Amino acid sequence: MRPESKQAMLPKADRIAFTVIGIVALLAFATVPFKDEIRSMVARKTAAPQVQSAAESNTADQNQRTKANPTLAVAQKWNMPAKLKEISGIAYVDAARFACVEDEEGKIYIYNTQSQSIEKEIPFAAVGDYEGIAIAGNTAYVLRADGRLYEVANYNNKPTVVEHQTHLTAKQDVEGLCYDQKNNRLLLAIKGNEPNTSEYKGIYAFDLANKKLNETPVLKIDLTHEIWKDIKSKQKIEPSDLDIHPLTGDIYITDGAKPKLLIMDAEGKKKNLLSLDETQFPQPEGVAFTPEGELMISSEGKTGTGSIVKVNINGVQ
């Protein structure tokens, strides 16, 4: 009888155990290369997002630089008739009309952009230095540089006029005026200096409910902000007018002395400062928005005619 092998001499359970152990060992050794390959693949997959992340970061930086440097282009221009050579404030009336004031006559001029002519003149006061206009419903408000406000009710049909005295004076040289519909008030911006500080210029609120001007500014144009770092002149800005963007709530402020446009948010945070081309805006004195957010800037005609310019602006933060 042939002698049995050692394996045959082992009990069946032990033979099964040894077989399982052998298979596991074989798999362990066989899969080592595959483990290395898997590790390599994982490493490559992990590195790829890092490259993409850097690219995304560069794109974000480029987008931020674009936002920090808005572009402004003239879309349309209307040259004013001789009576509006010294056009100052403007206010939107409807798709074809703007209400305008100029530096000397106590009149509201309704300018029609379709006929390119003055279609109506509305007297409200004697000769004076009138700088800003705002429309709230059927009432027009006109600002004189010494801080007086003229309320012209039913301005387009049998107007009645009430004059409001404020604490602002000719020393502050008040030029900017706009209607803040959200807060039921007018905003007034001073061109001159604050009496007791050189660190800011105030924007004051005239409450349309009680017809009173707040004693302290509701917003401040901070003259120490870094946005002025490239402005070498002592006067960083001399606000000539302001208006509120109907979609974003941002406040746009023009400077007529050294043509530029300041954009702040509703809390007064500075967002952008744009230089304006003096060939297109020789003395920007007025700013207004259409309900769709189209920007209009009026400019006195230093050597030529006054104008209203429709402006396309891109890249505002």
Q: What DSSP string runs through 257-300?
A: TTTEEEEE-TT--EEEEEE--TTT-SSEEEEEE-TT--EEEEE-
Q: What count of other Cβ atoms lies within 10 Å of the Cβ of residue 223? A: 19
Q: What count of other Cβ atoms lies within 10 Å of the Cβ of residue 97? A: 18
- Please say if the pLDDT value at position 124 is more than 70: yes
- Please say if the pLDDT value at position 243 is more than 90: yes
pLDDT, tens digit (0-9, with 9 covering 90-100), for 150-201: 999 999 999 999 999 999 999 999 999 999 999 999 999 999 999 889 999 9
Give kind and range of the element (H or E) at residue 93. strand 87-94
CB 141 within 8 A of CB 177: yes
CB 270 within 8 A of CB 222: yes
The pLDDT assigned to 233 comes to: 85
The pLDDT assigned to 11 comes to: 53
The pLDDT assigned to 317 comes to: 66
The pLDDT assigned to 15 comes to: 52
The pLDDT assigned to 70 comes to: 83
pLDDT, tens digit (0-9, with 9 covering 90-100), for 187-227: 999 999 998 899 999 999 999 999 999 999 999 999 999 99
Residues 275-295 have a mean pLDDT of 96
Confidence of residue 14 (pLDDT cuts 50, 70, 90): low
Residues 110-135 have a mean pLDDT of 97
Q: What percent of the chain has pLDDT over 90?
A: 72
pTM score, whole prediction: 0.78
Confidence of residue 45 (pLDDT cuts 50, 70, 90): very low
- As a whole number of angstroms, the distance between CA 214 and CA 83 comes to 34
Task: Give 31's DSSP letter.
Answer: T
Q: CA geometry: angle at 144 spanning 91 and 179, to 5°?
A: 35
- Please say if the pLDDT value at position 136 is more than 50: yes
Mean pLDDT for the chain? 85
pLDDT, tens digit (0-9, with 9 covering 90-100), for 28-41: 444 444 445 444 44
The pLDDT assigned to 33 comes to: 47
